[in-house]
Each structure stands twice: as C-alpha cells, then as structure tokens.
Chain A
C-alpha cells in the first residue's frame, strides 16, 4: 500500500484499518461487477432498505446489503463462495426501493456470472442451459401435456422450436459461440460423475 504523504506511521496504520484494506480485496472485482451489472454499487450508503425489502432475508442468512458492501470493497472470494448468493429470487423489491437508484439485484446477477466463470454454480442453473440446448425450452413439453393440448384444439407441440426443430441449429450455434454448453456439461460431469 502506498504511504500516505506526511502521516506518522501509527496514523497511517489506523487509516489503513479504517479503509478496510484487506489481503483479499480485489479492485478488479469491483470493476467487473460494475461492467456486468451496469449499475452503480459504489453509490451505496448501506441504509439497508434492500435487506428490509427482501423476501429471502427473513428465512435465511442472505443479506443483500452485505453483498453490496462486498461489491464496493472488492471482496471477491467472500462474495462468490457464499452459498447465499444463490438465494436471491430476483424480485427486484430492493431495486424498486433503493434511495440511491442502484439496482442491487443486478449486482447479484453479475456476481453469479463471475462465480460461474470460476465454476462456482449450483447444478440446477446449468440444467436450464442443457435443457434449452436440447429442445429450445427450459421447461419442455411432455406426453400428458401433448394430449391435453390436443383436447384444447391446440397443436400437440407449440409452434416454437418444438414444432419447428429446424430452428435448433441456430440456437446451438449461439450457445456454442460462448462455449456455454461445453462448460455446463463439464461442470455437471465433475459434480455428478
């Protein structure tokens, strides 16, 4: 850390502590969160309106305010390895009420994106990707539903990629461009064997 000009060493140490510099503070993390979330986490003054509005907070240890602080301080490991990161229902109540016009939900989304880059991701999220790669749908059709659709006078398969599978190669090309399917498959295999 650069010496603050003119301060005695004792004061410098105190300021160092107060500014909360830590070994695992990564300024790049703060920048990456800002770039992906496209919101202004550094404007947060820690009022806690977000946590007070959060439906996940009363039933878990998930505290959105804490994640906002981690974003500002660059506490990458602490943020990305916390399993609570995945308890946000993305209801945007915090974002609706934030007096600093920050979108905390998008800060969480950007941290999840960054976690995925380090293979930190619950498997259920990856299975949505593989389902879309297989059929174009996150929740695909099934035989019970096909029969029901027919009774309602609808086509057995909806006029989506289900009825027009010729659109699937395009979708797979987009997902392959980002190597999303390959990464999802690799992580699922590592977890589930």
Chain B
C-alpha cells in the first residue's frame, strides 16, 4: 500500500442521524479512516435504511424493499458498504443477508424493484466501521494505535456497544469471533485503549439505550427511564466520557440527558462521543473540526483532560 493511496474502498452509507444531527461523525469517519488506508466514497441517492424499529414494525415487506434499494445503489458502484450506525447495520446488513439466503424474499423484493428499474443481485457485503477498525484484515487495533498523535491519556472512557451491530449473535457472521460475544465483549475496550485512554467497565454495560423499536417516539418517559438506568451505572464508575458506535444511541444519551433533566430532575453532564469522533480527536483533529459544539451535553470537561 502506498502512503497516499487507499488499499480499501467502500461506499459510505450515511443513514439519517449522523449526517443530519451529528455531522462530525460523518466528517471524522471520512478523515480518520483515510489516515488508516480506507477510502469512504459517497453512496449517492441513499435514503433512510429504513429505521428497523419504527419502519419495520409497520410492514417488513416494504422494509426489505426499501433496504434493498440502498443495497442496489452500492451494487451498481461495485463496492461493499461501510456504515457508522448500529440501526443502519441491522437494516442494511441483515436485509442483505436475508435476501442472499432466501429466494422467496429476494424474488418478492425484485418484483417491486423492477418497477424502478432495479434488481437486487446479492453481490456486495456490508460492514460497520467499528468492525473495519477492529479487523486487521482491513485496519486492526495496531494500526489504529500507530495513527494516534494525541493520545487520550488519563481519560476514563466507558463503551456503549448498542444492540443491533452484535445482537442477535446467532444471526451474525463476524470474521473476528470475539465480536460474537454479546454477554461480555471487550473488543471496543481494546480500541479505546489503542487511543491511549483507560477503558472502564460498568454494571450491565450491554443494556439497550432505550431508544429503539420506536419506543422513543411511542413512550419517551419509558425510553428515558432505560437510559437513566445506564447513566446511574456509569456515574458509579466516575467516567469522563461515554463512547458509542451508533448515532441513535448517541442521540438518546446526549440529547436524552437534557430530557432526563427536564422530566426526572437529574443531571449527569456526561459527554457522549461516537468512536469516530474520539478517533478523530486522538489523531489530532480539533473539537471544531469534529463539530463537538453541536452536542447537547458539553464535551469541555473531557476535552480539558485530553487536549
């Protein structure tokens, strides 16, 4: 691999919340991954994945067709997809997997796609960027460590894995077997260590953020109560920041803290950063370059510790 040229190229599937609420996740991913030899090319005309909970609950047949349309756009580019959101992974990866293995579903989807001059062929794969970072076939922990110019020394950082990247593990097919451990995974902690920070574990770390399945829209207090339980467990460990790999979880923890303040009267002020933002910081990007000022909860206390 030459220093300038990328040795891996992916169609970058953005989803909704990253580009439209946390654009720093988008810009940090593109820049940080480039430094690691992975080029992310825009997937033109992509739509919502669509949201596996809110949309899938209505009609799964339409859900498959809509996700397949996004997959076909990447097939036409002859590129595998990389994405930054667990919810998108559930839609895009899982529909790709289901359509590849079930002829009845594929035929039903293609009948509809024919109306828009498209055909799902099943020629590409789908990856989450966290998976690309961890798997040394693409990048690997060592290369991530070597790319760090501003180690996040001294920062205590907890990981929120989220649900839809890894669960249900019996349906997933990661090359790295440790990623199939959903009871007590440590691979994200390895990545946090690679940035120079101290990974911190906390009680019930694999619990859901509470936002998924349309529950955030259906019963916000119920959703926030789940989030609040996680925040209580995080507070016990006195962490400086929480890192996630899903913009929807990030929205629930970040903006959710403001809503928890309003509805429950509890204040945490816990900075919440997508791993791409954390990686950008460790590679020397400024908080302004990462759009950290757009976060609901100020990242300042954490930034003062690491910059």
> Whole-angstrom distance between the alpha carbons of A87 and B66 in the complex?
24
B112 touching A148 by the CB < 8 A rule?
no
A171 touching B218 by the CB < 8 A rule?
no
> Whole-angstrom distance between the alpha carbons of A138 and B261 in the complex?
26
> Whole-angstrom distance between the alpha carbons of A163 and B26 in the complex?
15
B223 touching A158 by the CB < 8 A rule?
no
Binding-face segment, B145-153, B165-173, B233-241 = B165-173
Given contacts A96-B167, A152-B289, contact A137 B60 (CB under 8 A): no
> Whole-angstrom distance between the alpha carbons of A159 and B219 in the complex?
32
Given contacts A137-B16, A139-B21, A145-B21, contact A91 B222 (CB under 8 A): no
B47 touching A137 by the CB < 8 A rule?
yes
Given contacts A91-B167, A161-B47, contact A86 B19 (CB under 8 A): no
> Whole-angstrom distance between the alpha carbons of A145 and B185 in the complex?
34
A89 touching B115 by the CB < 8 A rule?
no
State which size class the interface on B falls in: 35 or more
Q: B24, B53, B62, B219: which contacts A180 (Cβ < 8 A)?
A: B62
Given contacts A139-B21, A158-B19, contact A89 B217 (CB under 8 A): no
B217 touching A170 by the CB < 8 A rule?
no
Question: Is A78 interfacial (CB-CB < 8 Å)?
Answer: no
B48 touching A132 by the CB < 8 A rule?
yes
Binding-face segment, B120-128, B133-141, B206-214 = B206-214
- Specify which chain B residues have a CB less than 8 angstroms from the CB of A86 in the assembled complex: 57, 213-215, 218-219
State which size class the interface on A falls in: 35 or more
B222 touching A113 by the CB < 8 A rule?
no
Q: A89, A109, A127, A177: which contacts B223 (Cβ < 8 A)?
A: A89
Question: Is A44 interfacial (CB-CB < 8 Å)?
Answer: no
Question: Is B76 interfacial (CB-CB < 8 Å)?
Answer: no
> Whole-angstrom distance between the alpha carbons of A23 and B14 in the complex?
49
B168 touching A112 by the CB < 8 A rule?
no
- Specify which chain B residues have a CB less than 8 angstroms from the CB of A167 in the assembled complex: 44-45, 47
Question: Is B46 interfacial (CB-CB < 8 Å)?
Answer: yes
Q: A115 → chain B, closest Cβ, in Å?
A: 9
Q: A88, A145, A164, A177: which contacts B213 (Cβ < 8 A)?
A: A88
CB neighbors of B among A129-178 (8 A): 129, 131-132, 136-142, 145, 148-149, 151-154, 158-164, 166-167, 170-171, 173-175, 177-178
- Specify which chain B residues have a CB less than 8 angstroms from the CB of A128 in the assembled complex: 50-51, 54-55, 58, 214, 217
Q: A192 → chain B, closest Cβ, in Å?
A: 15
- Specify which chain A residues have a CB less than 8 angstroms from the CB of B118 in the assembled complex: 170
CB neighbors of B among A65-121 (8 A): 86-93, 95-96, 101, 103, 105, 109-110, 112-113, 116, 121
Q: B116, B211, B229: which contacts A173 (Cβ < 8 A)?
A: B116
> Whole-angstrom distance between the alpha carbons of A59 and B226 in the complex?
8
A residues lining the B interface (CB < 8 Å): 36, 55-56, 59-60, 86-93, 95-96, 101, 103, 105, 109-110, 112-113, 116, 121-122, 124-129, 131-132, 136-142, 145, 148-149, 151-154, 158-164, 166-167, 170-171, 173-175, 177-178, 180, 184
List 13 other contacts, CB 8 Å, given A87-B215, A96-B170, A139-B16. A90-B164, A90-B212, A124-B218, A125-B57, A128-B55, A145-B21, A154-B19, A159-B43, A160-B47, A164-B44, A177-B115, A178-B62, A184-B58
